[in-house]
Structure 1
Amino acid sequence: MPLELSTASRTPIELPNPFVPHKNPETGRWAPPQYSRRRQAELIKAAKKEGTLHLLPPGPKLNARDLPPPPASILKTSIHVQQLNIGAAALEVPVKWVGEVKIKEAAGANVGNKLYAGKSQMFKGHKWERVYRRKRKYQRMLMRDMAKRILKWRLTRVTKRPEPLSRIRGTVGKSRFLPF
């Protein structure tokens, strides 16, 4: 016997949203969503392919504003309806999803820059790409004072380096610089 809902009662059915975390009222602890974000994306792709996107609840991967309106005529002789053994009126009852979907709006996402929207810098990249700016800044600082540095090096090099010809040669195997 198929389950028939009265067409007079159009009050929405409240169901917990499986795409968002929910708080347990008894313990006060948060439970994770039933479907991970990867699985949500897979479900959305499959629903788009099947044309049943309007039946999915809103979530982090599917905003409420992105949900299409339900089609004007829902197929009442669907194979799924016959398999579930419910009446066609059950498909027309609206569902109110319980749970708040928090949408983060990142700057730049509205102009098509979704990958780096809201990011202060690019993702990891190569090491030379990450340290390039710091390295260039250091090089500019060194090159700015390079004339002074060269002059200073030439003056200290002459005083530190002994003259090779002024060295007194001692006996074979002995050097005057050794302490023994």
Structure 2
Amino acid sequence: MESTNWPPEHSAALRELRVRGMSYGMIAATINARFNTAYTRSAALSRGQRMGLGCFDRPEPSLPALPDRPESPIPALRPSIDRTREVRPDARIEVLRWPKFFFGKTDLPELRCAGVSPRHLSLVELGPRDCRYPYGGDGENEPITFCGHRRRPGSSYCAPHFRLSRNPELSAKPVLSAGWLQAVGAD
């Protein structure tokens, strides 16, 4: 990070160039060329602001303004004042504006459970071959324990918890298609 204390000759050059009406980007480039420094536009702007030179008044643009467009020979189409426009409310806005309340009974899906009696091991007590299916931790300060039964090969869970955590229909499908494997040359 560069020091915020500029040498007096750099500050004098900044003041002189700013009085001439140069932009801070041009001032930084001029000072860098004159004193072999590496000030950025932002550094020159900040220093000018600290010196009270002003930073928000920009010089007039060097390009003249574009001339006004000639009027089109075709008259602009204006909507008729006599006819009214049909306004239809957007259905999406209505949904967002007026939430619907359902007071009927909703059937909850049947929860699946694994027919396993967990050993409730802590994380420290778990061995490398123990099931890591978590239990607890729902309430405040409730400890989280783990199943602890022997895990299924290739999984972090025992067989019942593995079946519980997977959708059986999706688990049967191969993850990578034969076409994809062939495309990457892994067949």
Which range, TM-score by smaller chain?
A: under 0.3
TM-score (norm 1): 0.16
Higher relative contact order structure (alpha carbons within 8 Å, sequence separation ≥ 6): 1
TM-score (norm 2): 0.16
